[in-house]
Each structure stands twice: as structure tokens, then as C-alpha cells.
Structure 1
């Protein structure tokens, strides 16, 4: 697995983020409506990564500035053909590394109850519950997590 920093508007990132949106439709009935600006995922405001396995883009995710010392993880996704290999954990570790290197002290994220594998990944990686924020803060299906880096 190799990770490459790309714009969220890079063709490989676009394909994977469209796939994650379809995953949200399948699990929740609609796509994520959180506003996403490509500039938020470019240094120094953020990062967006695509992971390649045998030269194929199979994972993606990024972080963007969220508050003075925090960053918010967005659009973490592993293509179905690559699941079960620990790639999400590797991506999360790389997002943590890049956020820490950029001076971020904490990561926060939102997921939902229809993604139990994501909740399991985050809690087993040291993330704990935090207060809700953003578009879905009042949705009972949403879960919010944070981790000090």
C-alpha cells in the first residue's frame, strides 16, 4: 500500500469519493450533504490521500482544519475489493501522522450507527466519544469521536 497526497478533485479521489457517497446512500438512504471545498484539503488547511494497491486506487480519506488545533477526518473509504486487509487502519494512521506533522493536536470525526465497522476501527484506535458538530450534530444516528494526537 502506498499513499499519495492528491487534491480531493483528483480523478482517483473523485471515483473513490463517489463510491463512498453511494455507500452512504445504501446505508442511510442519501448521500452526505456536508459541504466540501477542495481548498480545505490542501496544505496548510488539510490533506487528502489516496491509497494504491498494485497501482489501483482502493482507499481514500482526508482531514481538514477544524478549530484552532483540531482537524476533522472526512471521506475515509475502502473499496469493497480491498476490505479486510487492515487498509483502513493504515490510512487512519497516516492521516494521524500527517495531521500531527501539520501541527494539529487532535482529530475529530463523525460516523453513523449504520457503519459498525467504522465505529469499531475508531474505538480500537483510541478514539473516544465527543460532542456532536456539523451538519449531522442533531441526528440520533450520528456518532462523534476524537483523539488527541
Structure 2
């Protein structure tokens, strides 16, 4: 890891927290700390389930409970249990809470304007563009990729969305049971691996690896949710699968893809895959790729 990059990130974090008033007990002059103000904003006019708030804000359960109790004591929030599931709690804003959020919105607008006002037009455009890029990269850095049960709930969520997209994009639709689809047992160690990417706890992508024969594996079920594309998630999944393949003695990887998936073909070519003759009977495939000479990666 580059020590100078780490130093610059830390410097940026200090500058931002000071500029936006995170260190104050009265965020934007509203009389409450940032954590409470942000929680009010996230609950919003429609209300929200407590477990969703916990995931969305990456908060510890005990800390979130303390924040909610404080807001309830101030008459800003009410909590209730779902009539359909007593385990589900929901937070909603009271009338006082709604007025508080309205004031928070006005102060937030004014603060954003105050950051832009001292700058010239070109500087404002540069700042906003840089903020947009930073937000995108921060989202990318928050993506977590980990092994998952290929028959589990998160895997099913990804695969069902993947199948729907392929059915829409393929000229003749898509049937997941045609050809030789991988069984869940093929996508778990020692025969394979299935990875799920999550952003704020929500599954947004997946990819699988199975062993075809001694020394040769196959990449399957590579997918990233449309809203998460452009964050480098597919690249990270592919690299993780390749690293696992190399670590388990697979020196060659193969894969197939449909002619409609041009962005996938481009990614494979950029990563050293080369088109080869057909090696399977997948009725949905038009292109077959292979990458040889996988080696274990040396940690950076």
C-alpha cells in the first residue's frame, strides 16, 4: 500500500470533517450532532424500517437504538412494530420531527450554497465534478466481495436478476437450465467458489468458478447490478476468482458468453483472455475464451 496515498487520504478526511462541521455538537446550527440529524434525514417523510436504517448507515445496533431513544425522547420520532411481523420495527417522524427535517433541509441547502459561493464559475464546476467522482469512488471502496453459499438468499437474489437480464437481452431469451449449468455443489470448495458483492449489505453482483478437469476451471454466472456498474465490481470479482483458481492449482480458465454481452467480452479481452473454438454445448453461447498461465498473486 502506498504510504503517500494513505497520508493524503487522512489529510483529506481531516479537511472535510472540519469543513462540514462534523466535530460540532450542533450540526448546521440545528442544536444536535450530525448523527442525529442524519438519522432524521434517513427516516424521512415515508419512515423506514430500523434494520434498513442500520444497514444503510452502517451503524451498530446498540448505537442506533440509543440514537432512536434520544430522538423519541425529544418528540421527533415514533417507533412501532409491524402488524405482519412483530420482529420488524419501523421509525416514523412526528409532526415536530417533520418540521425539524424541513429546517434541516433549508440549512443544508444554505450550507451547500455557502461552499460554492466564494468560488468562480470554473472552480465551482471543478469542485462539483470532483465531488461526483469522489462519491463514485467511495461507493466503489465500500463494496465488499466475499464467498457465499450459491444456494443462499443473496446468491439467489443475484442469479434471479441475472437470469431476468439475460432473458431480456438475448435475442432468443434465456433458459438457465439449458446446456450444462453448474450445480451448487460445483461452486463451493474444493471444486469451486461462488462470490457475492455487497454494497451497504445489499447484494449487487456475483461470479462463480468451477473445476472442469485437472488444471482447468471455468468462470460462470458473472453479473453486476446495473446501478453498480462502473464501480469496477466485475473486475474485482474476476480477479478474486482468478486468484482462487491459481491458489488451488488451476493454471487455465475458460468461459463462454453471448454475442449480446459486448461489455463482458471487452473485459475478458482486457484481462488476457483469448477467443478459442467451442469447448461446450451451451446453446446461449457465441464466443468461447481461455486464459492460460495463471500464477499466484503476490500481495501488494
* TM-score category of the 2 structures, normalised to the smaller one: over 0.9
Deviations 1:56-83 (A, max 9, x none): 1111011000121111000000011101
Q: Which residue of 2 aligns with 1:125?
A: 271
Q: Which residue of 2 aligns with 1:146?
A: 290
* Unmatched segments (≥5 aa) in structure 1: none
Partners of 2:251 and 2:239 lie apart in 1 by 14
2:217 aligns with one of 59, 62, 71:
71
Provide the aligned C-alpha RMSD in A.
Answer: 1.4
| Bigger radius of gyration | 2
User: Structure with the greater relative contact order (CA < 8 A, sep ≥ 6): 1 or 2?
Assistant: 1
Partners of 1:30 and 1:5 lie apart in 2 by 26
Partners of 1:115 and 1:131 lie apart in 2 by 18
1:26 has 2:168 as partner: yes
Q: Which residue of 1 aligns with 2:144?
A: 2
More helix by share: 2
Partners of 2:274 and 2:209 lie apart in 1 by 18
Q: What TM-score results when the alignment is normalised by the length of structure 1?
A: 0.92
Q: What TM-score results when the alignment is normalised by the length of structure 2?
A: 0.47
Partners of 1:79 and 1:103 lie apart in 2 by 31
Q: Which residue of 2 aligns with 1:95?
A: 241
* Unmatched segments (≥5 aa) in structure 2: 1-142, 295-300
Q: Which 4+ stretches in 1 moved above 4 angstroms?
A: none
Deviations 1:34-64 (A, max 9, x none): 3321110111100000011222111101100
Partners of 2:245 and 2:156 lie apart in 1 by 22
Q: Which residue of 2 aligns with 1:11?
A: 153
How many residue pairs get aligned? The number is 147
Q: Which residue of 2 aligns with 1:44?
A: 190
